[in-house]
Amino acid sequence: MTLLGHYWTIAPRLRHSVRPLQAPEWRPWGSSLEDPVTGRVPVTGRLRELPGSEELVILVHGLGGSTESHYMFRGAQAAEAVGLSCLRINLRGCDLENHDFYHAALTADLHAALASEELRRYRRIYVIGYSLGGHVTLRLATEVEDPRVAAVAAVCAPLDLGLSQQEIDSPGRWIYRRYLLRGLIGIFAAVSTRRPQPLTIEEAARIRTLREWDDRVVAPRHGFAGAADYYARASVAPRLPELRVPSLLLNSESDPMVPARAVRAVLRPTPRLEVRWLKGGGHVAFPRRLDVGLGEGIGVDTQVLGWLRTR
Encode pLDDT of 87-126 as tens digits: 999 999 999 999 999 999 999 999 999 999 999 999 999 9
- The radius of gyration of the chain's CA atoms, rounded to the nearest angstrom, is 18
Which residues have C-beta within 8 Å of that of residue 86, sequence separation ≥ 6?
24, 26, 47, 48, 56, 57, 58, 59, 75, 76, 79, 80
User: What is the CATH number for 74?
Assistant: 3.40.50.1820
pLDDT-derived band at 152 (thresholds 50, 70, 90) equals very high
Domain of 105 in residue numbering reads as: 3-309
pLDDT-derived band at 15 (thresholds 50, 70, 90) equals very high
Average pLDDT, the chain: 95
The pLDDT value recorded for residue 19 is 93
CA 280, CA 232: separation in Å to the nearest integer? 31
Domain count, the chain: 1
pLDDT-derived band at 1 (thresholds 50, 70, 90) equals low
Asked whether 268 and 159 are in contact (CB, 8 A), the reply is no
- The rounded percent of the chain whose pLDDT value lies above 70 is 99
CA 112 to the chain's CA centroid: 16
* Alpha helices, H only, the chain: 3-18, 70-81, 108-115, 132-141, 161-168, 174-192, 201-205, 210-213, 219-222, 227-234, 260-264, 300-309
Average pLDDT rounded to a whole number, residues 33-58: 96
The pLDDT value recorded for residue 216 is 97
pTM: 0.97
